[in-house]
Amino acid sequence: MQVSELQQEILKLKQQQDVCILAHSYVAREICEIADFVGDSFQLSVKASQVKNPTVLMCGVRFMAETVKILSPEKKVLLSHPQAGCPMAEQMDKEMILEVKKNYPDYLVMAYVNTTAALKTIADVCVTSASAVKIAKAIENDKILFIPDCNLGAYVAKQVPEKTVKLLQGGCPVHASVKPSAVREMKELHPDALVLIHPECVPEVTEQADFVGSTTAIMDFAKQSDAKEFIIGTEISIAEHLQYDCPDKMFYPLTKDFICSNMKATTLIDVYYNLTGQFGEEIQLDAQTIRDARRCIDKMIELGG
Ligand code: 13P
Ligand code: SF4
């Protein structure tokens, strides 16, 4: 079967069953093409609170599907691949943070959305890479315990120097593995290219960027810029989407290994089987977890919108 035939079958099933498909822009392009909405983590959270369909299929990773369930508990929420987790979201648990909190009783817990539902229950506010700086500025508290990503946290601390930000040792294994020398080498190869970097990269990498932002912010910047060449410092899909969207410009992935295997776990045929009920996982969260985890996500949407 051709990719386009399979896409047509999926669209038919999706309509028959009244399913909304949400996709993070890191998933495969042929999935993004049949999704109702494609975006970054913040946009997906907002969308999750607005969806009308009784079933939502999240093509992304587990914390994203959990966020949909927390915001729309009455809906059937499916994760496209049961093994698609985000390693960063598993790095810290609720018990560990409650222990750390004992030493920082007057700090507000700011949790990256890449955390489990259980950990969100003890966070004061959630953030994404798109909303973190804005929320850190807007939040009333001047002492912040930022979890789990120390690189995004360091970026926030630099942008919001009026606040005290305590960091812990966590982060995205995909973004954090990029070496500062990779930027220097790519700049030598493409001296006219602008360097656009995701804030999950280490400070020595983001410091070399012309622009730092979330996946959507990087895409918007590249589309609106008059420049013709760009080095893209985030998951390889973003350079691919941009190359399709702007054929008159050139996009170079910062490294060829910039691949999130969890975001790439779902294939188009998996999506077909998600809709026939043969594959995927329905997200189950207890009512108390949903109630408690929702507070920090609602606060993020209120302050980050
Ligand atoms: P954004 O979608 O917020 O840019 O985050 C990227 C990411 O790594 C999602 O897990
Ligand atoms: Fe998690 Fe990093 Fe993959 Fe995003 S890119 S889902 S933060 S491992």
Q: Give the chain's end-to-end CA distance (angstroms, integer).
A: 42
Q: Say if CB 249 and CB 228 are below 8 A apart.
A: yes
Please state the atom number of ligand 1 nearest to the C-alpha of residue 42.
3
Please state the CATH superfamily assignment of the domain spanning residues 3-85+263-284 in this structure.
NadA-like (3.40.50.10800)
Task: Mean pLDDT check: name the lowest of 2-16, 41-55, 123-137.
Answer: 41-55
CA–CA dist 289, 84 (Å, integer): 21
- Atom 3 (ligand 2): residue with closest C-alpha? 260
**DSSP-derived pairing of the beta strands 37-39 and 19-24:** parallel
Nearest ligand to the CA atom of 40: 1
CA–CA dist 232, 124 (Å, integer): 33
Distance 96 CA to ligand 1 centre (A): 24
Tokens encoding 270: 């998996």
* pLDDT on residue 49: 83
Q: What average pLDDT does the structure give for the chain?
A: 96
- C-alpha 5: how far from its chain's center? 29
Q: Which CATH class is domain 88-173+289-302?
A: alpha beta
Residues 53-84: pLDDT tens digits?
999 999 999 999 999 999 999 999 999 999 99
User: Is 109 a residue whose pLDDT tops 70?
Assistant: yes
The share of the chain scoring above pLDDT 70, in percent, equals 100
- Atom 6 (ligand 2): residue with closest C-alpha? 86
Q: Which CATH class is domain 178-253?
A: alpha beta
Parts of the chain belonging to CATH 3.40.50.10800: 3-85+263-284, 88-173+289-302, 178-253
Q: How many CB atoms lie within 10 A of CB 256?
A: 8
Q: What is the pTM of this model?
A: 0.95
Distance 282 CA to ligand 1 centre (A): 22
Q: What is the mean pLDDT of residues 157-180?
A: 97
User: Is 42 a residue whose pLDDT tops 90?
Assistant: no
Q: Which of 44, 260, 266 to mutate to test the pocket of ligand 2 (most atoms within 8 A of CB)?
A: 260
Please state the atom number of ligand 1 nearest to the C-alpha of residue 172.
8
